[in-house]
């Protein structure tokens, strides 16, 4: 890399770091992901005239956040009516406008967004010019429907910001920590290892990527890099744990936390992994079309903490479309409140879960959580 290229890269990194709310989170101030979300909401209110006039100097609480999301939802509706060919057509045809949404029960007036429509007509959802697109990702997830999503540079930075907050919540809180990234079986147009390593670099943490299937190679990397946290697919980490059971003692490697993503993690798989490494195993959930990393467990292992300012979530009866109360299982439906490029409104995830509205024992009392996630039968 030439000197000028190095300087440009350094400048871009410095600018990016200044934009990250996650770098401002101090240890001991509560759940880092919740603190990140609250900071995002405060900044949003500060810089949005409608929000600022509505909330004034009110203190943040759950009612505040619920009202904030409804206002953001109406603003998003107005935005897509002007910029999204898909939503403009269906909302105008149905005679729906933002003023009709005055409570969460009113969301049922809006049609659900089906995955098949996104797969067949991705650019009908695009709200910005092509030149504003920084990256496009394609993923089939578990539905075998190839879906393409586009993101602006600022949205990619927001994703990195939330990833850092999630890593902090998982226990990555020291400059001496090293995240070992293991995704040997992932094949997609986005590389989770690069996203995670970029997040660590911007946060000032160390990371190492090893996509080898060789057990000895993974252990050697842990010892050489001083690995303290591990992230990878659930099945690979489960297989790795079984393979190293006779090679290490629990706690010997100094691993603080293991994060399983991309695939379901059964109780027996979690038990196996934790018994081998002598640390807690946390689950992470996300979808490419929602921004890759959307929710993660804390050390209490009592539900997934969501990226609170980014999403308005509902749980519905998948057959009737009716909203279900907290604690009752149904299909997770998500609205991406803060996306400009390809926002999704009432997007059907085809994942079954339940809302958890009670405070978490980790100290988080404002954010919403979702329970264990299961795939919906086709």
Whether residue 378 has pLDDT greater than 80: no
CA separation for the pair 340, 153 (Å, rounded): 11
Whether residue 99 has pLDDT greater than 50: yes
Question: How much is the pTM?
Answer: 0.91
Pull the structure tokens for residue 253.
């490697």
Residue 276's alpha-carbon distances to 111, 223, 237, 283, 306, in angstroms, are: 47, 16, 11, 17, 28
pLDDT of residue 292: 81
Please name the helix (run of DSSP H) or strand (run of DSSP E) that holds residue 155, with its range, or none: helix 153-169
Whether residue 64 has pLDDT greater than 70: yes
Residue 273 class from Cβ within 10 Å (0-12 exposed, 13-18 middle, 19+ buried)? buried
Strands in 330-336's sheet, in edge-to-edge order, are: 311-316, 330-336, 347-353, 374-375
Residues 295-354 have pLDDT tens digits of 999 999 999 999 989 999 999 999 999 999 999 999 999 999 999 999 999 999 999 999
């Amino acid at each position: 890399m030439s000197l000028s290229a190095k300087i440009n890269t350094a400048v871009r990194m410095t600018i990016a770091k200044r934009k990250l709310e996650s770098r401002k989170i101090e240890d001991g101030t509560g759940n880092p992901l919740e603190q990140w979300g609250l900071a995002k909401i405060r900044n949003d209110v500060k810089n949005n005239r409608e929000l600022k006039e509505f909330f004034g100097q009110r203190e943040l609480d759950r009612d505040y956040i619920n009202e904030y999301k409804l206002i953001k939802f109406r603003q998003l509706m107005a935005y897509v009516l002007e910029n999204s060919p898909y939503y403009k057509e269906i909302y105008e045809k149905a005679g729906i406008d933002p003023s009709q949404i005055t409570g969460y029960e009113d969301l049922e007036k809006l049609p659900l967004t089906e995955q098949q429509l996104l797969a067949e007509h991705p650019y009908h959802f695009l709200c910005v010019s092509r030149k504003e697109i920084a990256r496009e990702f394609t993923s089939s997830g578990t539905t075998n429907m190839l879906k393409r999503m586009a993101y602006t540079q600022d949205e990619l930075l927001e994703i990195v910001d939330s990833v850092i907050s999630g890593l902090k919540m998982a226990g990555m809180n020291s400059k001496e920590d090293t995240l070992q990234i293991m995704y040997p079986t992932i094949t997609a147009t986005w590389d989770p290892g690069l996203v995670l390593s970029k997040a660590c670099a911007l946060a000032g943490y160390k990371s190492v990527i090893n996509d080898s299937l060789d057990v000895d190679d993974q252990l050697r990397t842990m010892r050489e890099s001083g690995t303290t946290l591990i992230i990878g697919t659930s099945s690979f980490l489960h297989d790795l744990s079984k393979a190293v059971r006779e090679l290490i003692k629990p706690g010997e490697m100094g691993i603080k936390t293991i994060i399983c993503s991309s695939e379901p993690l059964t109780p027996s798989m979690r038990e196996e992994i934790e018994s081998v490494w002598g640390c807690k195993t946390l689950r992470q959930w996300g979808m490419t079309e929602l921004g890759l990393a959307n929710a993660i467990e804390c050390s209490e292992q009592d539900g997934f903490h969501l990226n609170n300012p980014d999403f308005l979530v509902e749980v519905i009866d998948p057959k009737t479309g009716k909203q279900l109360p907290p604690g009752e299982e149904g299909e997770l439906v998500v609205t991406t409140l803060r996306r400009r490029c390809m926002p999704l409104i009432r997007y059907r995830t085809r994942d079954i879960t339940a809302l958890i509205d009670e405070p978490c024992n980790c100290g988080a009392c404002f954010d919403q959580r979702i329970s264990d996630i299961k795939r919906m039968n086709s």
